[in-house]
Amino acid sequence: MADGSGRVLHVAETAQWELGRQVGSYEISSRGKTLAEEGFIHCSTATQAGPVLRNFYADLDPAALTLLVLDVDLLGALGSPVRWDDVPGAEAPFPHVYGPILPGAVVATLAVGGTAGAPELPPPADLDALDVLSAPPSPSE
């Protein structure tokens, strides 16, 4: 699938994101895995992020999580391209960042709502206003 413009989300533990922001490079792929271990950083569209939160982060306090809103074009310009990869069992490809997330590619940070066991995304209108992709770009984009 073609790389595409727009924005994608990454679920970060807030303390890890703050450390990465301070040192100038965030390299956590997913919960308990680093970029070096996985080879990429897991991201998702607005549609995919809710299930990711519920399946992998529900046991954490949502107040300890931050959604990073990442600009796909900025990531590429900073040397960390986004690729859309098929994931077994998933309905659509997931965006993966192949390199560290530099703070300059993070256009917004959003709080995760809800409670432990039931984390919630911000309202869809908020994600739409930030141009977060709800589906992978079409191959022609």
The string of pLDDT tens digits covering residues 13-61 is: 999 999 999 999 999 999 999 999 999 999 999 999 999 999 999 999 9
2 belongs to a structural domain:
no
61 belongs to a structural domain:
yes
Range 85-114 average pLDDT: 94
Number of domains into which the chain is organized: 1
- Predicted confidence band of residue 69 (pLDDT cuts 50, 70, 90): very high
**Full-model pTM:** 0.93
141 belongs to a structural domain:
no
37 belongs to a structural domain:
yes
139 belongs to a structural domain:
no
Q: What is the CATH number of the domain that holds 16?
A: 3.20.170.20
Report the phi/psi class of residue 5: left, alpha or beta, with left for phi > 0 and alpha for psi in -120 to 50. Answer: beta
Determine the structural domain holding residue 44 and report its residue range.
7-129
Predicted confidence at residue 111, as pLDDT, reads 94
Interatomic CA distance for residues 81 and 72, integer angstroms: 7
Torsion sign over Cα 113, 118, 124, 125: negative
Query: What mean pLDDT is reported for the chain?
Result: 92
Cα Rg of the chain (Å, integer): 14
Predicted confidence at residue 4, as pLDDT, reads 52
134 belongs to a structural domain:
no
